Amino acid sequence: MDALRALIDRTFDLFFRPFRDIHPAYGLSAASFVTGVMAMLVFRYASNQPAMRRAKSRIQAHILELRLFPDQPGVVMCAYGRILRFTGAYLVHALRPLLILLLPVAIIMGQLDLRFSHLPLRPGELFIVKAELADPLAVDSSSLAVPRGLTLTAPPVHIPALQEVDWRLRADGYGEFLPAVIAAGHAFPKRVVVSNGLVRLAVRRVQAHLWERLLDPGEEPMPAGSAVRAIEVGYRPRIIDLGRFQTGWLGFFLVASLVSGWMVKVMLRIEL
């Protein structure tokens, strides 16, 4: 699993390398386009296109029926029932490609989330490292090992009710750093990135479960049953600035992938 995760990370690193030092919209657009094309091709070859076409035609026919025979309540009721039936059939036909797409799109979105959801730290920027501990008694005894390049700017804040300890740090220069939370005699490092480019950022490091590994793929998980449940770095959220319009990466991705998908759909006459 870790090897697969590393391979996926490297593949995406390679894909985003040309976009590292330019406006994030470019990289996001490229990823959206690839996702759109891939999704359309999957729909083209994995779905029953004639059946989808038939179901769509029938839905359209029964919508027209509502317009043609509005004075006949029986016909209207029947038409509505048939619209429901054929919409169901249409969705059933769409489910096979949807199932095929489920995993790859989840991986793509996980990778996009790593790169576009937050901004890396800048030199001189203050940030918080938050540790969630498994044992409430370990809250007071835990500490943070700070590497060179980062400076602790305030004493830790202990919140026993939440089993949480927070540290405020400052980034002194560019680079990747590994501050480590010390708890129950073990060190749990967390990667911190100080950069001005498009880089992979794992906000949280969590304990190992299959699903978490897929959905939070940025950093190797901590062993299950560790004294620390999760470590979180307080990166600032990234806003994609499009001149007058600003949006999060997800909105941009949804629109861009739908547009590119629609273009491919029209060009390749894919029924959807």
Partner 1 sequence: MNRQLAASVAGGLAAPMCTLRQRVKAWARACWWGSASSSRDGVRRPAAALHARRNLLILAALAMILATPAAAHAYVGPGAGFAFLSSFLTLFLAFVYSCFAFVTWPVRRIIRWVRGYKAYRRAKVKRVVIIGFDGMDPDLAVRFMEEGKLPNLARLRDSGTFHRLATTCPPISPVAWSSFMTGVNPGKHNIYDFLSREPGSYLPSLSSAQVRGSKRKLKVGKYAIPLGRPRVRLLRKGIPFWHFLARSGIFCSVIRVPITFPPEKFNGVLLSGMCVPDLQGSQGTFSFYSTAGSGTQPVEGGVRIPLLAADGWLRSYIPGPDNPLVRRKREQLRIEFRLRPDGARDGAEVELNGRRLFLRRGEYSDWIELKFKAGLQVTIQGICRFYLKTLAPYVELYASPVNIDPGRPALPISHPLIYSVYLSKLLGPYATLGLAEDTWALNEGALDDEAFLKQCYLIQDERERMFFDALEKTRRGLCVCVFDITDRIQHMFWRYLDPWHSPSCSAQGGSRYAGVIEELYERMDELVGRILERAPDAVLMVVSDHGFKSFTRGVNINSWLWQNGYLALKEGARPGDPWFAGVDWQRTRAYALGLNGLYVNQSGREPQGIVSPGKETQQLKQELAEKLRGLVDPATGRAPITQVFDRDRAFRGPYRENGPDLILGYAEGYRAGWDSVTGRVTETTFEQNSKAWSGDHCVDPRLVPGVLFSNRKLTCESPAIVDVAPTVLEWFGVPLPAYLDGKPWGLNGGACQ
Binding site for partner 1 (CB under 8 A): 35-36, 38-40, 42-43, 57-77, 79-80, 83-84, 87, 90-92, 94-95, 97-99, 101-102, 105-106, 109, 113, 209-211, 215, 250, 254, 257-258, 260-262, 265, 269, 272
User: What's the CA gap between 194 and 121, in Å, rounded?
Assistant: 4
State the nearest-atom distance from the C-beta of 244 to partner 1, in Å.
25
Q: Considering the complex, state which of residue 4 and residue 159 has its C-beta at the smaller distance from partner 1.
A: 4
Query: How open is the CA angle 183-187-192, to the nearest 5 degrees?
Result: 110
Q: Considering the complex, state which of residue 22 and residue 91 has its C-beta at the smaller distance from partner 1.
A: 91
State the nearest-atom distance from the C-beta of 80 to partner 1, in Å.
5
State the nearest-atom distance from the C-beta of 140 to partner 1, in Å.
32
Q: Considering the complex, state which of residue 39 and residue 181 has its C-beta at the smaller distance from partner 1.
A: 39
Give alpha helix (H) positions in 171-248.
210-215
Q: Considering the complex, state which of residue 149 and residue 221 has its C-beta at the smaller distance from partner 1.
A: 221
State the nearest-atom distance from the C-beta of 110 to partner 1, in Å.
9
* String of DSSP letters for 76-140: HHHHHHHHHHHHHHHHHHHHHHHHHHHHHHHHHHHHHHHHHSEEPB-TT-EEEEEEEES-GGGTT
Which helix (H) or strand (E) is 70 found in, with range? none
Residue 129, beta-bridge partner list: 167, 233
Q: Considering the complex, state which of residue 227 and residue 270 has its C-beta at the smaller distance from partner 1.
A: 270
Q: How do 236-237 and 143-145 pair as beta strands?
A: unpaired
Q: Considering the complex, state which of residue 148 and residue 269 has its C-beta at the smaller distance from partner 1.
A: 269
State the nearest-atom distance from the C-beta of 259 to partner 1, in Å.
8
Q: Considering the complex, state which of residue 14 and residue 210 has its C-beta at the smaller distance from partner 1.
A: 210
State the nearest-atom distance from the C-beta of 102 to partner 1, in Å.
5
Beta strands in 112-257 (DSSP E): 118-119, 126-133, 143-145, 150-152, 157-159, 164-171, 175-177, 180-183, 186-189, 192-194, 204-206, 228-233, 236-237, 240-242, 245-247
Contact 183, 136 (CB under 8 A): no
Q: Considering the complex, state which of residue 110 and residue 149 has its C-beta at the smaller distance from partner 1.
A: 110
Residue 145, beta-bridge partner list: 180
State the nearest-atom distance from the C-beta of 239 to partner 1, in Å.
16
Helix (H, G, I), strand (E, B) or coil at 243: coil
State the nearest-atom distance from the C-beta of 7 to partner 1, in Å.
21
What CA dihedral angle connects 16, 17, 18 and 22, to 10 degrees?
80
Residues 6+ away with beta carbon under 8 Å from 96: 46, 47, 48
